[in-house]
Amino acid sequence: MLSGLRIPGVSGRSRTRGSELLGYEGREDDKLTKRRVVRSLTEKRRALGLLLGFVAATLFVLWRRYELHIEIQVFSRGWISNTILPTPPLSSTCFSPGAIARSSYPADLAQAPSFVELHAGLGMTLGNDCYKFASTIPRSPLPEMALPQHTVFHTYWRSDLLPLGPRQISLFDSLLATQDRKSTSVILWTNSPSTAQLEAHPKLSPLLKRYGKRFTVRSVDKRELARGTPMEGHHLLEMADAKAWLDGDLVRVLVLWAKGGIWVDMDTIMTGRDMRVLGESEWVTQWDCYDKVYAPLNGAMMHFHENSPYLCEMLYAMANDPPPKKGTTDWGSRLYHKIWRRLVENGITPFKILPYCFTDGQTCRLDNRLPDPFAKNDGKWGQGRAAELKRKVESVWAVHLHNQWEKEFPKDGWVRSMILSKVEDAVRRYRSVDMEEPA
């Protein structure tokens, strides 16, 4: 009976008291949970810190004790088997004795014994091997060397891409003021139908006056240059891309076929070393010291005689192989590699391959490559390091800058102090000689 009674005030207070006790216990549970979460996060952070420290220490030990060489490239097996591995037949005419005899190809020069060995036969990735090998080549031509009486340097500028600037002027001066003035000249080729605007350019006009007949500007007429070649009248003559890769690569081959000489890409600076000593052989250059399997060769600088059968084979491949893809080196590095393989497949001595450092010393290991040409002097170079770099620069012929047109040489950088300062001195001497010569 008493269980059914409800005493006013008692039951309500009891419930309120119970609720307060439950709320208090809940808050204590929340605090305990939070402390556990914080403790767990702290332990995880500590574990992560220890793990990162262990990884960093391991990498440091590996870096100190071992050399890590990691390069990952992905190539389609179908592309390799269809494009790289096959060696289709050469043309039936390019190397025929009759065709060579009827052409302007100087076979006597091409077949004369060479006194200078340009190809070391090794990648020369260790130490300063490549630069030391370059130093074994004579500083000036030997009397016994069979060389062209005159060497023309060719370069190409797409006037619709970028305006001429200080970088291009430095290249022209580094060629014309430092190379032998009696036996060398420079032709600047342009895709503009008229040379008048370029010749009147405020930066170029003074050079044309200074160097006179040694420096000329010409318009590229690809159809005219291709006359008498496998590319004559070909629809691919008009192929071009926004980077000037395809048309630039085509112009290289057509110009050298028609005129002969040494091609120099515009993104280059010459060191002033005499290029004539490299004139005994026809050559392209090594892409880098690693010998890329599918693109080992470069044409940023290349030397071929007029009507060279090597160039004839390149033009034959351009005309008959599958068309190139825009924005690729299909008519550059891959073309030279294809032709080299086809030549040896048919028992023909191929063109030479200059070691990478002769013209592109940046393309090797961090410990022996040339420094960034556009980097400012960080003040950390001691006399020994600067002297070593100077010896490297003096042993090679050019520095390939790989475009980077938006960059300029810093005033305290090594290119300005070790190359451009000498070029400027050569320009001043050139002017003084002109003033001394009778009119």
Q: What is the pLDDT of residues 173-217, one digit of tens each?
A: 999 999 999 999 999 999 998 999 999 999 999 999 999 999 999
Q: 3-state DSSP helix/strand/coil percent for the chain, to nearest 5?
A: 45, 10, 45
> What is the structure's pLDDT at 365?
85
- Position 155 scores a pLDDT of 98
What would the mean pLDDT of 76-84 be, rounded to a whole number?
84
- What three-state secondary structure class fits 269? strand
CATH of 83-436, one of 3.10.129.10, 3.90.550.10, 3.50.50.60, 3.10.180.10: 3.90.550.10
Beta carbons of 217 and 198 less than 8 angstroms apart: yes
pLDDT value of residue 268: 97
Residue among 430, 171, 120, 58 at smallest CA distance from 291: 120
User: Which distant-in-sequence residues (6+ apart) come within 8 Å of 79 by Cβ?
Assistant: none
Confidence (pLDDT) at 119: 86
Average pLDDT over residues 91-101: 96
- pLDDT at position 62 is 75
- Residue 2 has a pLDDT of 41
How far is residue 298's CA from residue 334's CA, in Å, rounded to a whole number?
A: 9
Confidence band for 293, pLDDT divided at 50, 70 and 90:
confident
Q: Sorting pLDDT into bands at 50, 70 and 90, what band is 376?
A: confident
Cα 64 to Cα 324: distance, rounded to the nearest angstrom: 45
Can you give the pTM of this predicted structure?
A: 0.83
pLDDT digits (tens, 9 = 90+) for 100-110: 999 999 999 99
Using only C-alpha atoms, the chain has a radius of gyration, in whole angstroms, of 34
According to the model, what pLDDT value does residue 195 have?
94
Rounded CA gap, 180 and 291, in Å?
33
**What is the pLDDT, as a whole number, of residue 79?**
79
Q: What confidence tens digit (pLDDT) does each residue in 208-267 have?
A: 999 999 999 999 999 999 999 999 999 999 988 888 889 999 999 999 999 999 999 999
- Give the pLDDT score at 14: 47
Of the pLDDT bands very low, low, confident and very high (cuts 50, 70, 90), residue 3 is very low
Longest dimension (CA), the chain: 142
The predicted-structure confidence for 146-163, as pLDDT tens digits, reads as follows 999 999 999 999 878 888
Q: What is the mean pLDDT of residues 376-385?
A: 75
- Determine what percent of the chain is predicted with pLDDT higher than 70: 88
Alpha carbon distance 56, 101 (integer Å): 67
Res. 81 pLDDT band, cuts 50 70 90: confident
CA distances from 66 to 30, 55, 126, 296 (A): 53, 16, 15, 27
Average pLDDT over residues 41-63: 83
Q: Which pLDDT band holds residue 69 (cuts at 50, 70, 90)?
A: low
What is the pLDDT at residue 1? 42
Q: Per-residue confidence at 294, pLDDT binned at 50, 70, 90?
A: confident
In this prediction, residues 81-102 reach a mean pLDDT of 92
Instruction: Tell me the β-bridge partners of 314.
Output: none
Write down the mean pLDDT value for the chain. 88
Local confidence band at 122 (pLDDT 50, 70, 90 cut-offs): confident
pLDDT band with cut points at 50, 70 and 90 for residue 434: low
